[in-house]
Structure 1
Amino acid sequence: MSTNLNGKVAAWDSLVALAHQIVHGGPTESVETNGGPVRSFAKLIADKDEEINQRYDGAIEQTESSALSASTAATDALAARDISVAASLASTVALAAKDTTALGRTAAGMTDGMIFWVKPNATDGLTRFTCYQRTSSTTQTFVSSVLNASEFDSALNLTGYSPRSGYLFVVRDLLNRIGLALKVDGTLLAKLNLIAGNAITITRGLGGSYTVACSAIDTSYLYRSVAFGFKDAAGRFVGFLSNGEISAKMPARVESSFVTDGTVSAWIARDTAQHAALYTQDAAGVVRKLTAISAPSNVRLHLSKPVFYGTYRGETDFFWCNADGTGIYRATPYSWFSCWGDSLTEGAGASVLPTKTYPGQLSLLSGRMAINNGIAGQVSAQIAYRNCGLGGAWAFTGGEIPAAGSVVVTIAAVPAVLPFSPDPARSMRATAAGVPGTLTIAGGVYTFTRRVAGAAVAVPSPINIYPDTLRQDEATNIFWCGQNDGGASAKILPAVAAMVANLKTITKRFVVVGIFQHYDYATLVAQNAIVQAAYPNNYLDIYPILLAAYNPALPQDVADHAAGIVPSSLRADGVHLNDAGYALVALAIYNFLISKGW
């Protein structure tokens, strides 16, 4: 028994010795066991370290080779994505780049403070695509440039780390500063989040941080390779493309907020005075600085139109503009109301104008301004002309707008829409051929009077004279028209469509109110249904609301209700409402607006 026990102890000691060798052995040791050789823990970790590094180095080599030769078919999915994005970015730069700095400075639409790209060329001694900011018609300052392959190789310093540290590698710039680090679990630590996809938006936040958003996000997060990079004027590494994802460290003179959809771009950068400025680039590659915008931020694109936060016209809010920088408008409507219509909007039958009209009573209910744009007797087309110039065709006497004073204008095409009836005398602010003025009718004669004297302007015939509604196209609009069209939807719908299209805000808030007076009430209901079908989310059928408000104690109201007529107790005459009727309309519109959250 003693011999057996001694044998077991000896066997146990042998196993302990083997275990000690496996645990404490060096990075090159293997231990022979009955089941074959077993690597020490140190050798196992070292082998895995080498395996990971070899795989990573292979990925870099493959991606750099693919990025430098786009004609070579990519077999690796990550390399293929790098090629696609790199080619897209390169083509964008190439589209905007000029052959020389002289051509860049003098390009169409180029003014001081704007930036432009120049191709590699012998005239300027450039070996890279280079970005400049124009300082005059003959001078420019350097902003940044795109590194070529050899420069990028020397700009990056990849330091390998053992996986035991939790990191695969870190990236340092030429000043030996750590730019980012890749952990073994695939997490990338950087000053800028890396998100794949097109239509990338980079927005500067507090403390020098950046937020990235894009229309298509790749959630694989396999950050293993680098395709190309960028240098600033001081030779500092400021960004690179990795797996189709852009990382950037942006100095003050480089874009701190950038967005593109591949055709139109917009960004915020410091101008020559070091003030934040908004720039746009249209599909033709023309870059413009929007000098009318102060303190811009949060730039985005909506249907190829830049949307941004800033101060314009003394207002600080979100605005949008066209790709060429023109037409700056609010992104969301004003809270006040613009009311368009005929005598029912003007308030015929009300005891006190404008207080007892429906716009006046809507203003009291809501505590907001309501502008009354009603004119008695007008058909839908006339209301739409006063709103947006629908159907105008004019001829100017003498074929020009004089340097000062008034000029008689007449109808140049038939049929055409007149904004006013011959009487009484009326006027409205308007613009013709880019000249602001006033369109007036008096004694049946229309005249156009420019507001500010200047050079005479030749005008063709016919030409439209567009109304100036003083930002009412950026408010919440209420359209109530059609009573004088006999309720015909064929006349109502084109007018309403033109007025809705004229609303300038991205978020459009409007109400289309149905008619209620017609001798044939079956036709009235049918025509209202057609208009409602065109605007199901914005239509208010006022007829059943008025009809249901009859007073059962009044025989005439009971008879009116039975006949499908708006009760006499709500009417001032056979067509128009009284104070109580307008109050009911105002309340119905107010409740509709509240239900929409407007």
Structure 2
Amino acid sequence: MSAIGDLRDAITGIVANWPIIRKFVNGGATETVVTGSGTLPVIAKVVADAQTTFEQAKTDLIAQKGSEIDEAANGVLAQTRAVAVDVQAMSDAAAESRAAAAGSAAQADGSAADALVAANASAASGRYFTSVALGLAGSADGQSFSTKSGDGQFLIVYQRQASVAVEQLRFATQGYLDTGFDFSSYSRSGYVGAIVDSLKRVALGIRASGKIDIGNVQDVGGKVALNSSIATGPSSGASSTVATPGGLARTNPRLTAEVAALQAAPANVVLVQGRASYAWPWTDANDLVCGGLDYAGNLWTKGLNVTSILTSINTIGVGTLSAAVGLTANLQTSQVYSRSGYALAFVDKNGSLAGGIASNGDLYTKGLNVTSFLANIGSNTPAIMALQRAVYSGTAITCWGDSLTAGAGGTAGGYPSALATLLNRIVSKRAVGGQSSSDIATRQGGFAALLTVQGNVIPAAGPVAVTTWTRTPITSQGPGSIHGSLYGIPGTLSATFNANGTIATYTFTRDTAGVDTQIDPATPFIVDLGNEFDITVFWYGRNNFPTGVTDLVAAANNVKDALAASIALLAAAQKKFVILGVTNSDKAVEYKGQSVYSGIVQLNSDLKALYPRNFIDIRTILVRGYDPNQPQDVIDFNNDIPPSSLRSDPTHLNDAGYAIVAKAVANLITLKGW
């Protein structure tokens, strides 16, 4: 469909759905609208539902985290008490050792080894050991013991299992915690003690009342106590409610379906409490706020109070909408306009009519019936076709290339003829055998041949000899002549050839008589185009790898440069083109692993990287089309060349081979929707 057709349909849809749009914008917090796609909530209901969901999610998350903190605290307290018993036993044993040592200092000095054994034995009685090895030695399988970590930062509880120490849990030592946290009193108002990080930010605070705040969640213990279903809440479905000082609150120790839905939001959007004035802001991966709900329940995005804007548009009157966006100074609306036929008119501050909607729904502007105009524009009118072609290319196809594009070796016109049948399109063949990629690109117009004419003058009439040229768009196999312009003068470039096929003369003949015209040496000859808006197929490069080629890098670069110039010449804003890879021949130097083979394969790889959406590796497709029941095809397959069953000679294809090429091109064009 054309762009104007899309616009026409959009306007028609707006007029037809005006009542639905009106209710969608102005409906109440409980209303819905019925559309062709089903029942949808109005904007006010979306906002109200979002507020409810966020509040429920907040309550559920707080309850869940409070339960986890409470359980973790109880566990840590129990373990700490157990360790305290062990430490006390160890302390008592050490005190007894010190008393014994004080009573007989001389004997202790003489029996240091005995004292160490006694100390270890005393520690063992409290299940604490100075090393894991001693703990294993002093324990039986199934018994637990504790020891400090090697860095002294943790007290680790192990259980001996099959003579191996298996860690059960660990506790941070006071020294370790002091490096990152401060348990002392905190100057922040209301806190008698706090855990803070190295930047003095409160992670956990204890108020004078005994209440505990964690992060942005205040009175964690109170919130947990209010949850009546901490241990038995359902994993999904409806949540229970409890009475709170502020009324009934939803509670659930596990995340309900609503919260699960929130967690399914995109990973780069995070809901975070307590950001600036937001109750629930939406932040990106860089923690930047992109919108959210404030404490008043207003929805914000990009700094705009969406709730306030929607509330202000309390009627569908375009005047109200115009006022909301600041247009009333220049444009006003009138639902009663003296000009016959207008149901709604747009007028300027002087009362002059700018446009409007007629009683039959037609849209007018500057006296033009836009609705009727769009309806009367057919998709096949010349203006629309020209616009579509300039933007998207046409549907016709032009194939540029050498003898492979010409269909040499076949009997049915080569792949362009087969392509026309497959797609039922107009397909033009611009092929000349023996031409290199540079010759083809010059003939196509991507490269310009720089010509110097005899005496640097184009005569008033008749031909003039071209004395020098930089490129050869016309070669011995064709075309006979090319039309274009030289120094802005339209004319024809033609050539004659020697017996060996080399160029004898180039001649330029102007179309119509004029005056003698002085031109510069090396003036570009600009070929006429006429197909620059077509879908274009380029099959360049086979003749850049002739027998005896040695500079494979230069050959490949010539192909890439020619293709780039030809593609740049295509005029549509959205260029549509296909590039076919270079095929190798049944020659020893082009067999797998040989020098020319490697050069061709590398060129195709480069083209695929340069034009990944447009390149077809036709060489590989043809190689894989071999017949395993034909011995020669198997040999060809092992040499990685197109098989004999698809060739008419060492280089050119037969009708079956060209049919495969046509099918590959048709598949790509169809896949792209061209």
Give 1 or 2 for the bigger CA radius of gyration. Answer: 2
Normalized per residue, the structure richer in helix is 2
Normalization by structure 2: what TM-score?
Answer: 0.43
Normalized per residue, the structure richer in strand is 1
Normalization by structure 1: what TM-score?
Answer: 0.48
